[in-house]
Amino acid sequence: MADSTLTGIPVATGIAIGKAFFVNRNHMANLPRQIVAAEDMPAEIERLRAAFKSVETELAAIREQVPEELKSHGSLIDTHLMMLKDPKLAGASEKYIETLGLNAAWALEKAVSDQEATFEAIKDQYIRERMQDVRVVAEKVQTKLMGVKTDLSSISGRAIIMAHDLTPADTVELQVDKIMAFATVRGGKTSHTGIMARSLGIPALVGVGRLEEVHDGDLVIIDGLTGKIVINPTESELAEYNERAALFEDYTRKIRRHCHLPAETFDGSRVMVQANIELVEEVTAVLDNGGEGVGLYRTEYAYLNRTTLPTEEELAEKYIDLAAIMSPRKVVFRTLDLGSDKFIASYGELNETNPAMGLRAIRFCLKNPQLFKTQLRAILRASAYGNVSLMFPMISGVKEVRQAKAWLAQAKAELRREGVDYDPDMPIGTMIELPAAVMIAEFLAHEVDFFSIGTNDLIQYSIGVDRTNRHVSYLYQPLHPATLRAIKLVVDAAHQAGIEVSLCGEVASDPFCVPILLGMGIDSISMTPQAIPGIKRIIRQTNMHDCRLLLKDVLECRTVSRINNLVMDNIFKHFPEEVTFFSSLLENDELPS
């Protein structure tokens, strides 16, 4: 039997078998905590400032050495450079030196802990994970203060990288051709480690507990499908995983072979398969996986972990890059989906009991029109460089759409007067993610050019369940009859008004839910880039006649279990190779649902 088995969160799929190489072991366990005498405080503050400056200089140098394979990740390093230059973190640390007499490393730790306490109250997983960027930057400064040195370029052969955390700069310093997989203690599904691993096409796990049990040179298996790490596996375990790795590689090769072909059913029905992204750096993965556009570009990242608002120029530069790279493919920009609970410090705290249903998304933007108009101007400017669309999140009524369009019209008028190019016919859409929007879809359809159904929120709000709450997460059912009927209602309303409707969310990337969506007449679906080849394969193997028959039966079902049974019957009948693949690859012959 193997020495032990660890578990983590898979953020990049695949299986890797190789020797472990540990970098950046957690030096914070030995963080010095000392009280500084009053006369030594000025020197301690200078030491802190010097450490910040030194890390900034090092990162700037690394930024210039980004290899071609990771060229698009330069802006991730830019994010950390921006944090180092932001006076908020250093200023709070200096205050603790002056008022409490803490040594520099301890003072910085206290400042970061204060920020973490604020972020912990935020329910949104994506926003919470952005706090890790602050922690990473702080630990680089603390490592500098402690005099700890790490040599990330000393790997002698191909290895599986183990770390407490990995930053974009760490990955640049590593020799990418020698990296087989990543495993880190820190991180979440949207962390940089996952983004970089997916870009390199290697498996990765984050949030791994007890990673200290792994030692340099240990033979380890990284299972990016089930989230397992096997330390020093037995011969039988090695044989089993070698077989599974070969199976995964064969299937991946097969689905990628045709991933750049159109997503078209046997009987000629065309569906656009696009990607959801949050960083321009993910464009490489979109194109490599056959993505036909960006169906959802989340614009929140540029506003997080900072004390000042991004300027129009900052936003326009990123947006123009994305539009130009993807042109002539479509890019759909979602305007800010943030609230005061997760925004920059200058907007203060509203102390809302339930921020998820409070002043967020379009509500927040309409309450802060200057902020909103700055983003609208940046998106409009990007529309001159590519195939750009814009959509508003969390719409609950016609009035909100009209107010948002009025601000957009004002932004257009300003740019026109200034002689700045933009696409005057840029399509405008709304997210359909609230039950209220579903019920008035026929009204909303006459206000916009397209709908985008956000199933993750729609499921939560329509069923009344927080999927992150383990006590009720079992109620989060994508195939709930209410959810499917809501989607069908929206699709019908859109098509009756002559506009297109797309769907994003986890349902879109579930290969066994896709036939139901096709039967409804969804025009495009949007998902993580890595899911695109498999979904395209499913679409190309089916026909609309069968999809409509399945949908008819599904809409007559009264329970989730009955719908699941119909879906499984459809899988076994029409997709036998997928059944064989998943049952062989996943433990206990469990098919994904």
Q: List pLDDT tens digits, range 231-275.
A: 999 999 999 999 999 988 888 888 999 999 999 999 999 999 999
Residues of the chain with pLDDT > 90, as a percent, come to 58
Mean pLDDT of 544-551: 96
For residue 508, what pLDDT is reported? 93
Mean pLDDT of 460-470: 81
Q: Which two tokens stand for residue 28?
A: 């914070």
pLDDT in tens, 304-348: 766 688 999 999 999 999 999 999 999 999 999 986 545 554 455
For residue 588, what pLDDT is reported? 44
Using an 8 Å Cβ cutoff, are 78 and 302 in contact?
no
Per DSSP, the three-state class of 261 is coil
Cα separation, 517 vs 547, in Å, equals 8
For residue 576, what pLDDT is reported? 82
Q: How confident is the model at residue 29 (pLDDT cuts 50, 70, 90)?
A: low
Half-sphere exposure (Cβ direction) of 461: Cα atoms closer than 13 Å? 18
| Residues near 402 by beta carbon (within 8 Å), at least 6 away in sequence | 447
Q: How confident is the model at residue 222 (pLDDT cuts 50, 70, 90)?
A: very high
For residue 216, what pLDDT is reported? 87
Residues of the chain with pLDDT > 70, as a percent, come to 85
Residue ranges for the known binding site for Mg(2+) are 433, 457
For residue 362, what pLDDT is reported? 96
Give the number of other CB atoms < 10 A from CB of residue 541: 15
- Least confident residue range of 104-113, 297-306, 324-333, 384-393: 297-306
Q: Is the peptide bond prior to 328 cis by the omega test (within 30 degrees of 0)?
A: yes
Mean pLDDT of 354-365: 82
Q: Which residue has the higher pLDDT, 347 or 473?
A: 473
Mean pLDDT of 72-81: 73
Q: How confident is the model at residue 150 (pLDDT cuts 50, 70, 90)?
A: low
- Least confident residue range of 182-191, 319-328, 458-467, 471-480: 182-191
Mean pLDDT of 416-443: 98
Domains within the chain, CATH numbers bracketed: 4-24+151-235 (3.50.30.10), 27-146 (1.10.274.10), 292-426 (3.20.20.60)
For residue 51, what pLDDT is reported? 92
Q: Which residue has the higher pLDDT, 411 or 157?
A: 411
Q: How confident is the model at residue 201 (pLDDT cuts 50, 70, 90)?
A: confident
Cα separation, 90 vs 107, in Å, equals 9
Q: Which two tokens stand for residue 437?
A: 């929007």
Over 80: is that where the pLDDT of 131 sits?
no
Burial 225-240 (b: 16+ CB within 10 A, else e): bebbbbbbbeeebbee
Positions marked catalytic: 192, 504
Over 80: is that where the pLDDT of 405 sits?
yes
For residue 128, what pLDDT is reported? 65
For residue 399, what pLDDT is reported? 98
Mean pLDDT of 483-488: 97
Over 60: is that where the pLDDT of 72 sits?
no
Over 60: is that where the pLDDT of 401 sits?
yes
For residue 377, what pLDDT is reported? 99
Radius of gyration of the chain (CA): 25
For residue 590, what pLDDT is reported? 47
